[in-house]
Amino acid sequence: MTANVTEKTKPQRSLSPLLGVLGLIDRGQLLAFVCMLVALAAAAGITLGFGYVLKGLVDQGLTGHNISEINRILFIMVLMVCGLAIASFARLSLSGWLAETIVARLRVHAFTRLLTLDPAFYMRRMSHEVANSLSADTTLVGTTIATSLPLVMRNLLLVMGGIVMLVATSPRLTLMVLGIMPLVALPVIVIGRRVRGNAKKSQEQTGLLGGMMGETLSNIQTVQSYTAEERFARKYATQAHDTLKAAMRQILTRAAMASSVIFILFSSLCAVMWIGARDVMDGTISSGALASFVFYAALVASAFGILGDVGAAVFRAAAALERIREILNMQPTIISPVSETKIPEAIGNVQVSDLYFKYLDAPVIDGMSFNVRAGETVAIVGPSGAGKTTLFQLLMRFADAQSGSIMLDGRDIRSLPLEYLRGTVSYVPQDGALFSGTVKENILLGNPDARLGQIEKAARDAQAHDFIMALPNGYDTLLGERGMRLSGGQKQRIALTRALLKESPILLLDEATASLDTENEKAIQAAVRALHGKRTVMIIAHRLSTVLEADRIYVMQAGKIVEEGTHSELLTKNGVYARMVGQQFSLAEDQARRAHLGLTDSLH
């Protein structure tokens, strides 16, 4: 497959990815954001007001021994506490709602983008790893929007307001406080860069760990059948240890940044308090002014400490949002063209001309040409690795050939909208891919508007109706993850039912009968025969009994068509196809002979 997206972008050492959230805010969310800011400002204003009230309490109440003044000031403080509680409730509820709605939209945008990426992307990235990373990153962004960002804004307001009140209380002491501000910013700037880089690495390791677990559990029967539980446990433990080391690097840098800020702030605050105490003794400021100054200085110091700690969380969210943005910015190389005119309904004529496709510099399809007329049934056979499935991928434009063309009813498929092209094709893959919903939901993927009668007809044609009705809840039976409750043959028959329900002019069967017994294989062959003249059917098969009645058989080898003709014509050529038929019949005869000998021995 060709490379389809740019997976990595140059790491950025800023909080700019967080600005991308603004593009996800609609008018209602913007109003909620403004109301949240008002609540934040109110809460910060009330908090700052406590310092001014404290000055009056000390100077006019305690120092003057005025009990009525003390009662009046304490009543005001009770009202302020009530206002602070109301403002905090509004802030928390609005920020929580805003976070959840933004994250929901972010997840939808990211998932929608993932659905458009070419299969080549998922050949390089584990789907479980992508899913786990996306889930963890969006959760982290949501937590940051709901908790960390409001805290940052609140404490920025407290810092700015506190500095203003410090100046109003004692300009001399305030100059000393401001003199240490650059020292506080130093660890945030220097260590903050490492915090963000380590956070991104930690999140990537967490995604890989989740991907490994998802992949292993989705193939648990294979793991257990090879008694490989211990090996996978060791492999997971190694990955978990790597994740732990990455997390500890992120934790230690975060702790270093927060502790550096706290040490600088409170050491400086102690020095300022010592100088302020001497000013009170000298009569330069009052005791209430010092108490108020200490309150504001502690408030500013505490706000800076919180900013240092919460800032690390914001840096982690910025790293997470950068990873999400990488997904949102990915563009598939298979671009759907826009048709300005209405395209006639497809008939099903397929023409392949001089097709050449390579993967990892190795040719997979090498100069292939053939024609399939509408309503014909053709088979494509050949050894594994000959390029048969790749041909189907190219027909559906999951990748584009480097040269040559594929025409559908005389139109180059690269000029057709992807929705139109893939809407003309029903595809049954080798593994009969199913989802974790009900039988009915899986079948309706072929035609969401189909009625129950149509579903049952397609199921009967695919020889699936009887076993479906034997399930506990019939068509409403839940299948489990990837249809694990069904056998391989049952999964393939449901996949075939889905394809038949789609009623597209072209049907692609990629080893669709490989997991069926002989009786059901014959039934499927009868269903395919019934489509003759109605749909163009292209069959990939290793079991040559499936292709005996095809209008034409193409034999592929090393990406080329080396023979073509009907079954009888190819046998007379005594070439590759004849040898394949001979090998399969020899194998069948050998198996039958061994079975007969085993039965004879058991009778004796």
Residue 455 or residue 210, greater confidence = 455
Percentage above 90 pLDDT, the chain: 12
Instruction: Confirm whether 16-329 and 350-577 share one CATH topology.
Output: no
Give the DSSP per-residue string, 154-209. Answer: HHHHHHHHHHHHHHHH-HHHHHHHHHTHHHHHHHHHHHHHHHHHHHHHHHHHHHHH
- Identify the residue with better confidence: 600 or 233: 233
CA–CA gap between residue 279 and residue 501 (Å, rounded):
89
Give pLDDT, residue 94.
Answer: 87
pLDDT of residue 505: 93
pLDDT digits (tens, 9 = 90+) for 275-320: 777 777 777 777 777 787 878 877 877 777 677 667 667 777 777 7
Q: What is the CATH topology of the domain spanning 350-577?
A: Rossmann fold (3.40.50)
Alpha-carbon span 353 to 355, nearest angstrom:
5
The average pLDDT across 430-453 equals 85
Angle (CA) 33-35-39 rounded to 5° is 115
CATH class, range 16-329: mainly alpha
| Whole-angstrom distance, CA of residue 543 vs CA of residue 213 | 35
Q: What is the CA radius of gyration of the chain?
A: 35
Query: Given a cut of 70, is residue 6 above it in pLDDT?
Result: no
pLDDT at residue 327, as a whole number:
79
Residue 498 predicted with pLDDT over 80? yes
Which pLDDT band holds residue 21 (cuts at 50, 70, 90)? low
Assign 373 a pLDDT band (cuts: 50, 70, 90).
Answer: very high
pLDDT beyond 50 at 604? no
Q: What is the pLDDT of residue 2?
A: 42
Query: Cβ(509)–Cβ(393) under 8 Å?
Result: no
Among 204-213, 341-350, 384-393, 573-582, which is the least confidently predicted range? 204-213
**Buried residues in 460-499 as b, exposed as e (16+ CB within 10 A):** bbbbbbebbeebeeebebebeebbebbeebbbbbbbbbbb
Highest-confidence segment of 45-59, 175-189, 273-287, 548-562: 548-562
Helix (H, G, I), strand (E, B) or coil at 503: coil
Type of residue found at 441: E
Structure tokens at 180: 């240490």
Question: In this predicted structure, what is the pLDDT of residue 9?
Answer: 40
Residue type, 455: I
The residue among 567 and 151 whose pLDDT is bigger is: 567
Across residues 434-439, what is the average pLDDT?
82
* 12 band by pLDDT with thresholds 50, 70 and 90: very low
Query: The tokens of 466 are what?
Result: 């009887």
Q: Which residues contact 319 (CB under 8 A, 6 or more apart)?
A: 17, 196, 197, 199, 200, 203
CB atoms within 10 A of CB 566: 16
Strands (E), 375-417: 377-381, 403-408, 411-412
Percentage of the chain beyond pLDDT 70 is: 86
Residues whose CB is less than 8 angstroms from the CB of residue 371 and which lie 6 or more positions away in sequence, other chains included: 349, 350, 351, 352
Q: Which of 429, 431, 389 is nearest to 222 (CA)?
A: 431
Per the model's pLDDT, the better-predicted residue between 289 and 451 turns out to be 451
pTM of the model: 0.67
Question: Would you list the DSSP string of 117-148?
Answer: S-HHHHHHS-HHHHHHHHHHHHHHHHHIIIII
Q: For 170-186, what is the mean pLDDT?
A: 75
Indicate whether 399 pLDDT > 50. yes
Distances (CA, A) of 109 to 33, 114, 336: 21, 9, 19
Torsion, CA 498, CA 502, CA 504, CA 508, rounded to 10? -10
The CA dihedral of 95, 96, 100, 106, to the nearest 10 degrees, is 30
Residue 177's pLDDT is 72
Q: What mean pLDDT is predicted for residues 537-553?
A: 84
Q: What is the pLDDT of residues 555-596, one digit of tens each?
A: 998 888 999 998 889 888 888 888 888 876 554 444 444 544
pLDDT, tens only, 92-142: 888 888 888 888 888 888 888 888 887 777 777 767 667 777 777 888 787
Domain ranges within the chain, ordered by starting residue: 16-329, 350-577
Residue 146 confidence (pLDDT): 76
Mean pLDDT of the chain: 79
Q: What is the mean pLDDT of residues 178-189?
A: 72
Number of other residues whose CB lies within 10 A of the CB of residue 140: 22
Alpha-carbon span 290 to 297, nearest angstrom: 10
Cα(437)–Cα(477) distance, integer angstroms: 8
Pick the most confident of 104-108, 243-247, 468-472.
468-472
d(CA 226, CA 232): 11
Q: Give me the phi and psi of 179, to 5 degrees please.
A: -65, -25
Residue scoring higher pLDDT (353 or 512): 353
Question: Residue with structure tokens 């669709």?
Answer: 512
